[in-house]
């Protein structure tokens, strides 16, 4: 029996599967069970910013696993203490952090704590936004295919057009608990939040006593050329910053960073059994050390420019637009992208969809220029070949 057959026997059925079994990774490369090699521009949906199987992460996990894996946050812990210190130093003025296990949990906490702080219910999110799948984060998520099967969702969530200042001005009022925005919309097609829009959101929140929640689950940790994408915008300081994905070098972890406008939090208000466990904290400490030592934000900025230029040189009538920030890149086609993603995989490049017409590239930030150039060549080849659209 193949891996695919065995997994299919008892899987939930919740995931659209690609017919390969990935069994090994190193840097920006992955290998399947037949030994075929891929350049990874998926990174496990934006997790592997540091590349796969970094020896520093392997060492940190192994050593911590032999020392202490679990320690509920009602006890202090050396790894957690150090991580809180270092994590909050990355986002000046957000000097508290709630540690959890995933992106959706980090958003969920921000929503709850914004409601707690303001005593209000209304949350304003953006069209095309994606914030996760638990009920609160899902209520802020735009795609109706994700939402409708689970309605009724949490009440008092509304959506405005992203990058539309006027729409935001009309929506935010004295009943607003929070405005919740991605700094760069990932799942919604790679749209960068404009300075004007993000700063208007901040101003409206301050004027109306509401909280600004910035979701950097996908755009965080050097992906866009800064440690966090909001740091591209002078003067922008969120009240909550939601992060996860690559925070701990691939080990599951999330965090909600919390600013001074948020009310003092009391014991018991919110918690998580696994949140802040020493294993994830040790992995994250090792990850943060690599981000800094290898200056991965600068690498992402420079390689992102290089890759965008490679993509802009591709000659094809199928391309509508190339856009991105750092190594968070979208290639929008004039038609459905599913067959092209499959054709790329057949030729050894793993990429992600972002809606129906955008191919998303989230490579590890350690990817080489040669590998990026090869990805661009492969895209050119795939766009020139006839593809089978059986979706």
Q: Which residues bind ligand PLP (CB under 6 A)?
A: 45, 102-104, 107, 130-132, 182, 186-187, 215, 217-218, 244
From the CA atom positions of the chain, what is the Rg in Å? 21
Please report, for residues 63, 95, 206, 316, the alpha-carbon distance to residue 240 in angstroms, rounded to integers and kept in the order given: 32, 10, 13, 42
Task: Give yes or no for a contact between 255 and 220, defined as CB atoms under 8 angstroms apart.
Answer: no
| d(C-alpha 376, C-alpha 322), whole Å | 12
Q: Least Å distance between CB 104 and ligand PLP?
A: 3
In this structure, what token pair is assigned to residue 43? 């990174």
Residue whose beta carbon is closest to ligand PLP:
103
Q: Show the tokens assigned to 344.
A: 């790329």
Smallest distance from the beta carbon of 385 to ligand PLP, in angstroms?
Answer: 30
Output 32 or 182, the one with its CB closest to ligand PLP: 182
CB 245 within 8 A of CB 274: no
Nearer to ligand PLP, 107 or 382 (CB): 107
Distance CA 247, CA 375 (A): 26
**C-alpha span between 25 and 52 (Å, rounded):** 5
Query: Smaller CB distance to ligand PLP: residue 178 or 310?
Result: 178
Bridge partners (DSSP) listed for residue 100: 254
Rounded Cα gap, residues 184 and 216, in angstroms: 8
* Closest residue by Cα to residue 267 from 104, 100, 73, 106: 73
Q: Tell me which DSSP letter residue 47 carries.
A: T
Nearer to ligand PLP, 241 or 310 (CB): 241
**Count of positions (residues) in the chain:** 391
- Interior angle at CA 52, CA 47 and CA 58, nearest 5: 105
Residue among 218 and 231 whose Cβ is closer to ligand PLP: 218
Q: Which is nearer to ligand PLP, 107 or 204 (CB)?
A: 107
CB of 347 to ligand PLP, least distance (A): 25
- Minimum separation from the CB atom of position 119 to ligand PLP (A): 25
As beta bridge partners, residue 40 has 350
Taking the least distance from each CB to ligand PLP, the nearer of 250 and 382 is 250
CB of 132 to ligand PLP, least distance (A): 4
Q: Shortest approach of ligand PLP to residue 154 CB, angstroms? A: 16
Min dist CB 6 to ligand PLP, Å, is: 25
The tokens describing 4, both together, are 């695919």
């Amino acid at each position: 029996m193949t891996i695919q057959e065995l997994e299919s026997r008892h899987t939930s059925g919740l995931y659209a599967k690609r017919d390969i079994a990935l069994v090994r990774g190193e840097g920006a490369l992955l290998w399947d069970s037949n030994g075929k090699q891929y350049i990874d521009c998926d990174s496990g949906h934006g997790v592997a910013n540091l590349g796969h199987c970094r020896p520093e992460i392997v060492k940190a996990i192994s050593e911590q696993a032999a020392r202490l894996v679990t320690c509920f946050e009602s006890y202090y812990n050396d790894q957690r203490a150090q991580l809180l210190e270092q994590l909050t130093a990355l986002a000046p003025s957000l000097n508290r952090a709630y540690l959890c296990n995933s992106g959706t949990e980090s958003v969920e906490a921000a929503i709850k704590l914004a409601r707690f702080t303001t005593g209000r219910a209304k949350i304003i999110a953006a069209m095309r936004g994606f914030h996760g799948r638990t009920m609160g984060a899902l209520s802020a998520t735009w795609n109706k295919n994700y939402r409708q099967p689970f309605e009724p969702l949490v009440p008092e969530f509304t959506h405005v057009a992203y990058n539309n200042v006027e729409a935001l001005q009309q929506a935010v009022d004295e009943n607003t608990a929070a405005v919740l925005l991605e700094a760069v919309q990932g799942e919604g097609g790679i749209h960068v939040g404009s300075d004007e829009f993000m700063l208007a959101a901040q101003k409206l929140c301050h004027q109306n006593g509401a909280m600004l929640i910035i979701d950097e689950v996908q755009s965080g940790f050097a992906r866009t050329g800064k440690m966090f994408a909001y740091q591209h915008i002078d003067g922008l300081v969120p009240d909550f910053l939601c992060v996860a994905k690559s925070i701990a070098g691939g080990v599951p972890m999330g965090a909600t960073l919390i600013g001074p406008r948020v009310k003092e939090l009391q014991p018991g208000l919110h918690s998580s059994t696994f949140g802040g466990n020493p294993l994830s904290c040790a992995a994250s400490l090792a990850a943060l050390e690599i981000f800094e030592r290898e200056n991965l934000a600068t690498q992402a900025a420079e390689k992102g420019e290089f890759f965008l230029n490679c993509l802009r040189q591709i000659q094809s009538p199928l391309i509508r637009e190339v856009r991105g920030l750092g190594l968070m890149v979208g290639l929008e086609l004039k038609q459905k992208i599913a067959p092209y993603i499959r054709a790329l995989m057949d030729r050894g490049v793993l990429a992600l969809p972002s809606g129906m017409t955008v191919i998303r590239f989230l490579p590890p930030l350690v990817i080489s220029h040669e590998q990026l150039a090869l990805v661009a060549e492969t895209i050119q080849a795939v766009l020139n070949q006839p593809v089978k659209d059986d979706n």
